[in-house]
Chains A and B, each alone.
Chain A
Amino acid sequence: MNRPEQGDLVINGVSTASGGQYGRVKIDGVGTVEGDIVCVDFDCNGMTKIRGSLAADTMDADGMFTIDGHLSAARSFVDGHMKVRGSLKGDSFSVNGLIRVDGNCEIESFNAEGAFEVNGLLNVGSMDVLLHGRGRAGEIGGESIRVKQKARGPLNKLFTWMMPRFAPELHVETIEGDEIDLEYTQADVVRGNRVRIGKGCAIGLVEYRTELSAHPGAKIGKEAKVGD
């Protein structure tokens, strides 16, 4: 993107900066930004808080990252724990760790390893999630939706047995998409074209157009083939 030359924002250590337009933003340590921020490159390590919205071309966030407003970034990489109180918009978004979004998500390509929570609608082009912890969303809609569970050792299973709240499962009301491939998912309704219901799923109603394959261990309340 071609923008006029803009100043950079660099925080090292503990500091607060004001929002505005920047070229590059780099925050290491404990940084707070007061107000909305628009920049080309956003890179933060450590504890970062933005009291406003963030719009960036690329975003790389490591550590704890909180955004009070909305986030829109063409390409994002998140390692660690991220919280967005508004909505999230982006072309590609990869997470290792934990992400929580209070509003709606619109992402073309969503890759996550870890846990996620979206309170609104998660609208994705393609979604590939490997669950290590709990996934939660109000609704998921998109073209290709794949949810897998990370292989677990016996110690992990014991941990889950003690604390079922952290079981690596996806909880969602509805999933609608073209290609759906699920594991360890609890959903009221799944609607799709080609649907695969894998191990550990409990689905109330599955509606499919061309194909449904279900794992013998999966619980499906009702299945229906629709349209032609």
Chain B
Amino acid sequence: MERDLISKKELLDEKGISYGQLYRWKRKQLIPEDWFIRKSTFTGQETFFPRDLILARIDKIMNMKDDLSLDELADKLSPALPDYEMRKSDLVKRNIVSSIVLQRFASEDDDSLVYAFDKLLYFYVVDKLLQAGEMSMEEGERLLWTLREHFPKFTGKACDLVFTRKMGVSSFALLSAPSELYFESGVKVVARISMTECIEQLKGKWV
């Protein structure tokens, strides 16, 4: 899975930003350190970025930087979990998690129960995969368990969720991102989701 990369120079030209802006955003932690990929080329050392991630991020920064200060932006984009919380009944009302998921996995919780952000994130991820039709309800339960058990161990570091299937047997894995992963033949990667992106999407629902 060779990632599509964009060089720093191309990026600046394409987006019309300056070196100063890029370094400033990096200082403010708007662009994660591990997106800066150093490679040697025939002109010497050059820095590359994962194309899809960085382009989306720059667009996001450019769109929001007029309304928010850079520090506020950094809060929004950081992989650390914010201390947002939400009542169970609001989850369905605001269409963040479908009612089916809540019925299935949180039927014993009271409607007025307030979930912390991490719990919401787990429901959100499960919901996302279910909605995409890639996962069954039983698998959803296992995924929820996996997330509860292992996701807190990453403590704010970026991580990916990998969902694979082989001969109908499915399994989940959480791995720190960015990392490369290769499977034996016959293994089908059903989904690879960046948890950091999910956090961002979910955070976006608060505005």
Contacts and interface: CB of A to CB of B under 8 A. Distances in A.
B204 to A, nearest CB: 27
Contacts of A123: 23, 26-27
B179 interface: no
Interface stretch (A47-55, A128-136, A147-155, A174-182): A174-182
B107 interface: no
A141 B44 contact: no
Interface in B9-52: 9, 12-13, 18-20, 22-24, 26-27, 43-45
Contacts of B45: 173-174
A142 B44 contact: no
A227 interface: yes
A193 interface: yes
Given A108-B27, A227-B12, A227-B13, A178 B20 contact: yes
A106 interface: yes
A209 B24 CA distance: 19
B26 A177 contact: no
A193 B13 CA distance: 12
Interface stretch (A3-11, A184-192, A212-220): A184-192
A178 B18 contact: yes
Contacts of B20: 142-144, 177-179, 193
Contact of A125 (B9, B12, B18, B27): B27
A226 interface: yes
A192 B20 CA distance: 9
Determine the main DSSP class of A at the interface with B: strand
Most chain A beta-carbon neighbours within 10 Å: one of B9, B12, B13, B23: B23
Nearest to A126: B20
A102 to B, nearest CB: 16
Contacts of B18: 178, 193, 209
A176 B13 CA distance: 14
A176 B27 contact: no
Nearest to A125: B24
A99 B43 CA distance: 31
Contacts of B26: 106, 123, 141
Interface size class of B (residues with CB under 8 A): 10 to 19
A189 B9 CA distance: 13
A189 B18 CA distance: 16
Most chain A beta-carbon neighbours within 10 Å: one of B9, B13, B18, B44: B18
Interface string A111-126: 0000000000001110
Nearest to B29: A106
B27 to A, nearest CB: 5
Contacts of B22: 141
Contacts of A173: 44-45
Contacts of B12: 227
Given A173-B45, A227-B12, A192 B19 contact: yes
Nearest to B16: A227
Given A141-B26, A143-B23, A143-B24, 17 more contacts: A108-B27, A124-B23, A141-B19, A142-B19, A142-B20, A142-B23, A173-B45, A174-B44, A176-B19, A177-B20, A178-B18, A188-B44, A189-B44, A191-B19, A193-B19, A205-B43, A226-B9
Interface of A: 106, 108, 123-125, 141-144, 173-174, 176-179, 188-189, 191-193, 205, 209, 226-227
11 contacts: A108-B27, A123-B23, A142-B24, A143-B20, A144-B20, A173-B44, A176-B19, A189-B43, A193-B19, A209-B18, A226-B13
In the A-B complex, the 6 residue pairs with the smallest Cβ-Cβ separation, listed nearest first, are A143-B20, A178-B20, A141-B23, A176-B19, A106-B27, A178-B18
